[in-house]
């Protein structure tokens, strides 16, 4: 069926987009206006309105991560690795499917993948935009003390991808529910000391600890080296090994459920 976009109101177009996205096997979705002032925190090159010409809206897709890997002490690293990267690939594909759907209405749409490509801004690794800020602007949660997006239902155990589009869609209200208890366990237990005395997050320290690539450990983080690592990661080292998730594991909001098992009786 050919859908003529001029015939659709902003509400109808938003409903079409959300209905399509909700059928894509996601756990939550939110829409932000590109003019939301939250995006101004990012450097200009990383603000959605400067990433896609004529951008009007950012659609953010969210999938939860399983908690089981935290109960597998001998296989935690391997399990986290696959869980994260499987969900991130899933989110990348869904964003591309959604972008195609939006373009069928006569608009442009650009996907923001869950992980790669990375860029190096000064000495910090960054995505094409900050998905964390996009999730905040799109009403998917608040920024917790751990500097992670905290979803009201899934805590910080979530991954995101997004689509920036020239379609004007109805934005969702930003979340008012702050469920971070401010307990500080994430900061106290960070093995990389990736928070300064004021509690500000230091991404470079975190990524050196939490994203293990074979050659990360061999070099000093000079700007020249970081440009090389940007190219290397984006071409050959697509899947970093997750070597730290303490701030997610220790957070009481990401409650590790008591072990439940179901006995199946033989009849």
* 246 interacts with ligand SF4 by CB under 6 A: yes
Distance between terminal CA atoms of the chain?
Answer: 52
Long-range own/partner contacts, residues 223-232 (CB < 8 A, 24 or more apart) = 223/120, 223/122, 223/123, 226/120, 226/123, 226/125, 227/120, 229/120, 230/117, 230/118, 230/119, 230/120, 230/125
Please give the residues from 127 up to 146 whose contact with ligand SF4 meets the rule CB under 6 A: 144-146
Q: How far are the Cα atoms of 6, 14, 23, 131, 179 from residue 153, in angstroms, in the given order? A: 37, 23, 20, 18, 9
Instruction: Report how many residues bind ligand SF4 under the rule CB under 6 A.
Output: 24
* 65 interacts with ligand SF4 by CB under 6 A: no
- Give the three-state DSSP class for 111: strand
User: Candidates 2-10, 54-62, 79-87, 249-257 — which segment interacts with ligand SF4 by CB under 6 A?
Assistant: 249-257
CA 248 to CA 105: how far, in whole Å? 39
Dihedral of alpha carbons 111, 112, 113, 116, sign: positive
Q: How far is the CB of 148 from ligand SF4 (least distance, A)?
A: 7
Q: How far is the CB of 141 from ligand SF4 (least distance, A)?
A: 11
Number of other CB atoms surrounding residue 93 within 10 Å: 15
CA 148 to CA 155: how far, in whole Å? 9
CA 143 to CA 199: how far, in whole Å? 13
User: Candidates 26-34, 50-58, 72-80, 251-259 — which segment interacts with ligand SF4 by CB under 6 A?
Assistant: 251-259
When the beta carbons of 165 and 254 are compared against ligand SF4, the nearer one is 254
* 21 interacts with ligand SF4 by CB under 6 A: no
Q: Show the tokens assigned to 94.
A: 């869904």
Q: Is the peptide bond before 49 cis (omega within 30 degrees of 0)?
A: no
* 247 interacts with ligand SF4 by CB under 6 A: yes
Residue 53's contacts (CB-CB under 8 Å, 6 or more residues apart) are: 108, 166
Please give the residues from 137 up to 196 whose contact with ligand SF4 meets the rule CB under 6 A: 144-146, 180-186, 190, 192, 194
User: Candidates 16-24, 58-66, 102-110, 247-255 — which segment interacts with ligand SF4 by CB under 6 A?
Assistant: 247-255
* 96 interacts with ligand SF4 by CB under 6 A: no
* 80 interacts with ligand SF4 by CB under 6 A: no
* 253 interacts with ligand SF4 by CB under 6 A: yes
Q: At what angle do helices 76-103 and 10-22 cross, to 10 degrees?
A: 140
When the beta carbons of 133 and 144 are compared against ligand SF4, the nearer one is 144
Please identify which residue in 209, 212, 213, 232 interacts with ligand SF4, judged by CB under 6 A: 209
When the beta carbons of 44 and 73 are compared against ligand SF4, the nearer one is 73
Q: How far is the CB of 179 from ligand SF4 (least distance, A)?
A: 8
Report the interface residues with ligand SF4, using CB under 6 A: 144-146, 180-186, 190, 192, 194, 206, 209-210, 244-247, 250-253
């Amino acid at each position: 069926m050919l859908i003529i976009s001029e015939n659709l109101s902003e509400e109808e177009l938003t409903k079409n987009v959300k209905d399509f996205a909700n059928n894509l096997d996601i756990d939550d979705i939110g829409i932000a206006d590109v003019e939301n002032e939250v995006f101004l925190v990012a450097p200009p090159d990383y603000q959605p309105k400067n990433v896609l010409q004529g951008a009007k809206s950012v659609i953010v897709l969210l999938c939860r991560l399983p908690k089981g890997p935290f109960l597998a002490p001998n296989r935690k690293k391997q399990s986290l690795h696959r869980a994260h990267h499987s969900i991130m690939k899933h989110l990348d594909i869904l964003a591309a499917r959604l972008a195609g759907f939006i373009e069928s209405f006569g608009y442009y749409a650009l996907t923001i993948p869950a992980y790669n490509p990375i860029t190096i801004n000064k000495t910090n690794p960054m995505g094409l935009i900050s998905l964390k800020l996009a999730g905040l602007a799109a009403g998917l949660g608040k920024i917790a003390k751990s500097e992670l997006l905290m979803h009201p239902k899934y805590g910080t155990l979530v991954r995101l991808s997004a689509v920036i589009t020239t379609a004007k869609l109805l934005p969702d209200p930003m979340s008012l529910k702050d469920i971070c208890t401010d307990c500080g366990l994430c900061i106290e237990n960070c093995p990389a000391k990736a928070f300064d005395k004021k509690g500000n997050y230091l991404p470079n320290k975190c990524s050196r600890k939490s994203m293990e690539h074979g050659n990360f450990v061999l070099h000093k983080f000079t700007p020249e080296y970081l440009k090389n690592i940007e190219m290397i990661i984006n071409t050959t080292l697509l899947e970093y090994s997750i070597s730290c998730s303490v701030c997610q594991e220790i957070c009481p909001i990401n409650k590790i459920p008591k072990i439940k098992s179901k006995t199946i009786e033989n009849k």
